[in-house]
């Protein structure tokens, strides 16, 4: 379990590591369908693939927000660090006021329910983009897989606990929804802003360090690959232009740093 605490102006934040070593080398190399695997292997070089799960929690205006829920207590071995991280901050799941779902991929939502189907964060308002909800309800409805049917039934039963938001909506003081469409159809991040300080959580804008230098590489889990490329280009440039502190969900813990542009190539500068 790792916890990295930081403040953005008056807003307390922490990055909680749910787990690491999420993807092995061969499966990472196989996930870029418009690229020769040898080129991906060369770009990865001798580096280990990134595979962290970095969850952001924010305390603003008396609201405790958790962005995504990871795999949780009932997930694969080595996961569940979010709940232990919250406990180390003196928090239980019942203390979370807002669960913000950036998108409905399993590594972000599998820890939403107990095995009995009860929400793990019982008192929270659940917040996501309407387009994200719509994509997954229709994908799961079209699937006969047991897990998809279970997700469909469980989330639909909770629909009146959900609040559907749009880009630019403020979910707590200084915490604003950011459009990251492409990875999924309602993929969203959060901008935390207080005083002169800002943090932009860009979630799954990219998954590996080598993508900074190869932003047009498609990623097999992107719902709309071309849109994902456009969004990567737009948001990375925004991070450079605004000199933003940036958080990535899957880069090496804590996943915080700054993006720079050097000789036409984006470069990741992790916070030391």
Output 175 or 206, the one with its CB closest to Zn ion.
Answer: 206
Using CB under 5 A, which residues numbered 106 to 125 contact Zn ion? Answer: 107
270, 251 Cβ separation under 8 angstroms: yes
Q: 30 to 59, contacts with Zn ion by CB under 5 A?
A: none
Minimum CB distance to Zn ion smaller for 132 or for 204? 204
What is the contact mask toward Zn ion in residues 69 to 108, using x (rule: CB under 5 A)? --------------------------------------x-
Query: Using CB under 5 A, which of 18, 204, 222, 252 touches Zn ion?
Result: 204
Please identify, using beta-carbon distances, which residue of 107 and 193 lies nearer to Zn ion.
107
Which CB sits closer to Zn ion, 193 or 204?
Answer: 204
**H/E segment holding residue 198:** strand 197-203
Q: Which is nearer to Zn ion, 86 or 180 (CB)?
A: 180
Instruction: Report in angstroms how near the CB of residue 250 gets to Zn ion at its nearest.
Output: 6
Q: Please report, as residue ranges, which positions from 157 to 186 form the binding site for Zn ion (by CB under 5 A).
A: none
Name the segment binding Zn ion (CB under 5 A); options: 61-69, 169-177, 202-210, 234-242.
Answer: 202-210
Tell me the number of residues near Zn ion by CB under 5 A.
2
CA-to-CA distance for 242 and 262, rounded, in angstroms?
Answer: 15
Q: How far is the CB of 9 from Zn ion (least distance, A)?
A: 28
- Closest contact distance (angstroms) between CB of 183 and Zn ion is 8
Contact residues for 77 (Cβ-Cβ < 8 A; gap 6+)? none
Residue among 123, 128, 6 at smallest CA distance from 64: 123
**Nearest residue (CB) to Zn ion, 64 versus 187:** 187
b/e sequence 15-50, b meaning 16+ C-beta within 10 Å: bbbbbbebbeeeebbebbeebeeeebeebbeeeebb
Q: Is 132 in the site for Zn ion (CB under 5 A)?
A: no
Could you give the count of Cα atoms lying within 13 Å of 213 in the half-sphere of its Cβ?
A: 11
Tell me the CA distances in angstroms from 234 to 132, 170, 240, one per residue in order.
20, 21, 10
We find the least distance from the C-beta atom of residue 51 to Zn ion, in angstroms, to be 10
Closest CA to 8 of 201, 189, 242, 195: 195
> Residue 128 CB: number of other CB atoms within 10 A?
23
Interacting span for Zn ion (CB under 5 A) from 18-26, 125-133, 145-153, 198-206: 198-206
CA Rg, the chain, in Å?
18
What is the smallest separation between the CB atom of 116 and Zn ion, expressed in angstroms? Answer: 25
Contact assessment for residue 88 and residue 1, using Cβ atoms and an 8 Å cutoff: yes
Q: By C-beta, is 133 or 249 nearer to Zn ion?
A: 249
Nearest to 9 by CA among 180, 191, 169, 177: 191
Question: Which residues contact Zn ion by CB under 5 A?
Answer: 107, 204
């Amino acid at each position: 379990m790792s916890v990295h605490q930081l403040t953005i102006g008056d807003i307390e934040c922490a990055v909680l590591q749910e787990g690491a070593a999420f993807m092995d080398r061969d499966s990472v190399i196989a996930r870029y369908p418009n690229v020769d695997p040898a080129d991906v292997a060369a770009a990865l070089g001798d580096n280990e693939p990134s595979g962290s799960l970095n969850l952001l929690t924010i305390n603003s205006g008396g609201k405790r927000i958790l962005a995504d829920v990871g795999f949780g207590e009932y997930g694969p071995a080595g996961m569940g660090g979010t709940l232990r991280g919250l406990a180390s901050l003196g928090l239980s799941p019942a203390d979370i006021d807002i669960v913000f779902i950036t998108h409905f991929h399993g590594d972000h939502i599998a820890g939403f329910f107990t095995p009995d189907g009860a929400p793990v964060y019982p008192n929270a308002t659940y917040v996501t983009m309407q387009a994200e909800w719509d994509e997954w309800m229709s994908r799961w409805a079209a699937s006969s897989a047991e897990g998809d049917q279970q997700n469909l039934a469980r989330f639909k039963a909770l629909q009146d606990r959900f609040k559907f938001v749009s880009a630019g909506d403020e979910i707590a003081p200084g915490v604003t929804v950011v459009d990251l469409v492409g990875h999924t159809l309602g993929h969203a991040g959060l901008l935390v802003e207080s005083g002169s300080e800002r943090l932009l959580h860009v979630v799954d804008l990219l998954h590996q360090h080598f993508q900074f230098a190869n932003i047009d590489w498609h990623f097999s889990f992107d719902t709309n690959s071309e849109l994902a490329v456009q969004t990567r280009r737009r948001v990375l440039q925004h991070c450079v232009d605004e000199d933003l502190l940036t958080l990535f969900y899957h880069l090496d813990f804590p996943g915080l740093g700054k993006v720079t542009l050097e000789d036409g190539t984006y470069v990741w500068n992790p916070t030391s």
